[in-house]
Amino acid sequence: MTEARQWLLASVLLLSFAFDRPAAAEKKYDPGASDGEIKIGQTMPYSGPLSAASVIAKVELAYFRRLNENGGVNGRRINLISLDDAYSPPKTVEQTRRLVEQEQVLALMGSFGSATNAAVQKYLTARRVPQLFLLAGSSRWNDPAHFPWTMALVPPTRNEGKAHAGYVLRTKPTARVAILYQDDDYGRDYMQGVEERFGPEAAQRIVATATYLPTDPTVDSQIITLQASGADTLFLAATPKFTAQALRKAFDLGWHPLRFITLVSTSVAGVLEPAGLERATGVMSGATFKSVSDPQWRGDPEYRDWLAFMRDYYPEGDVADQLAVNGYGYAALFAEVLRRCGDDLTRAHVMEVATHLDGVHVPMLLPGISLNTSPSDFNPLKQIRLQRFDGRMWQLLEGLIEQ
């Protein structure tokens, strides 16, 4: 082969190789993404009746600050713009429009609340903006056929209701159940789960129900009414402030039913201490993350890493607050999704990655629990563990409950 022919063949091969690889080298950006930054947004109740939940956002902001100091994600800085909506749907609409139209975020992540997220779901769907990993328990968020841009993260409260009712069926077959629930999708989904699990016996087992609104000052009158029903089991589908009130009022009335609370209200520092630890003793709930009150995790590498993170990046935070653990895991999950997006930072690709999670682990998840999604199933957390509070800490009970 002549030198000229060798040179020509080499040139052809090089050109062929180059044309075979353009997709791998090509960078794709939608608003909010660039070579140096990924801009994301969320709304949180920094003020208002559910302001205790803002701990989650504060931890997430600290997590991304640490991540940025260590090179960001694929060399890009993560800029989380977290705005206060005071858990008011009209304010959520205003702040979400600001995030999309003025700040031009790539996606929203981890916004809090059922009613608040519902107020902007159609707007974000029309704009084709990912509304990811919402902190809202309604099963309405798992509806890819109608809302392919929306996905929650926390287990649906319907599944929590099923788990609580299932435990009662196994251990207290003659229970008389009273239920306090928030009068929105979050609470009504819980009720539906309880009724589904009780089945034909639901009407016989549920002897009283009461509702409240997030704007109510207290739930004292509801607890008095539920006590009068003669119930020996109390289900509380309530957010932290109202869970603490309900536990305190029931105890002070001399009413000591078997009590269940939802995942959002399991913080020892944020809920059980305000209620009074002696008043909360014996309370049951579900769990997906390792409890900061459980000493079995003290030597766990993930726990030690989280504790060091809190000391260095959120020193004003309370290491006894379970919400600080949750926020840490939530931020790690979104960072992992962005990492998997690589250089294709379009909104469609963010959703593609988020809807193909397969056995994903994030720090502080309980052993055996992982995150799994598909294009037809937007519910990432399908497993929970039951736990009981012994007056000092949460103690895990039985094995995983699959939903």
Per-domain residue ranges for the chain?
Answer: 29-155+299-383, 157-287
Low-confidence ranges of the chain (pLDDT < 50): 1-23
**Bridge partners for 287 per DSSP:** 385
Give me the phi and psi of 45, to 5 degrees please: -85, 75
C-beta separation of 186 from 264 below 8 A: no
Other CB atoms within 10 A of residue 126 CB: 9
pTM: 0.86
Write b or e for each residue in 177-197: b if 16 or more Cβ atoms lie within 10 A of its Cβ, otherwise e. Answer: bbbbbbebbbbbbbbbbbbeb
- The residues, ordered by sequence, that sit 6+ positions from 123 with a Cβ below 8 Å of its Cβ are 93, 96, 97, 100
Instruction: Assess contact for 205 and 234: CB atoms under 8 A.
Output: no
Strands 401-402 and 383-389: antiparallel
CATH fold, domain 29-155+299-383, is: Rossmann fold (3.40.50)
- Residue 322: CB partners within 8 Å, gap ≥ 6? 266, 267, 268, 269, 270, 289, 291, 292, 293
Of the candidates 380, 295, 375, 387, the residue with the CA atom closest to the CA atom of residue 329: 380
pLDDT of residue 400: 72
Q: Among residues 191, 231, 39, which one has the least CA distance to residue 130?
A: 39
Please give the radius of gyration of the chain, using alpha carbons only, rounded to the nearest integer: 24
Phi first, then psi: what are they for 101, rounded to 5°?
Answer: -90, -35
Helices 157-171 and 185-198 pack at an angle, to 10 degrees, of 30
- The confidence score (pLDDT) of residue 170 equals 93
Report the candidate in 289, 293, 298, 313 with the shortest Cα–Cα distance to residue 368: 289
Structure tokens at 213: 């609104």
Topology match between the domains 29-155+299-383 and 157-287: yes
Count helices and strands in the chain by DSSP H and E runs: 15, 15
> How far is Cα 290 from Cα 363, in angstroms, rounded to an integer?
9
What pLDDT score does 270 carry? 86
Domain 157-287 has CATH 1.20.1050.10: no
What is the four-CA torsion angle of 248, 207, 400, 355, rounded to 10 degrees? -90
pLDDT digits (tens, 9 = 90+) for 61-104: 999 999 999 999 999 999 999 999 999 999 999 999 999 999 99
- The CA–CA distances, whole Å, from 390 to 278, 295, 326, 396 equal 9, 13, 21, 11
User: What DSSP element (H or E) covers 385?
Assistant: strand 383-389
- C-alpha span between 344 and 27 (Å, rounded): 6
Q: What single string gives the DSSP state of each residue in 315-359?
A: TTS-TT-HHHHHHHHHHHHHHHHHHHHTTEE-HHHHHHHHTT--S
How confident is the model at residue 138, as a pLDDT?
85
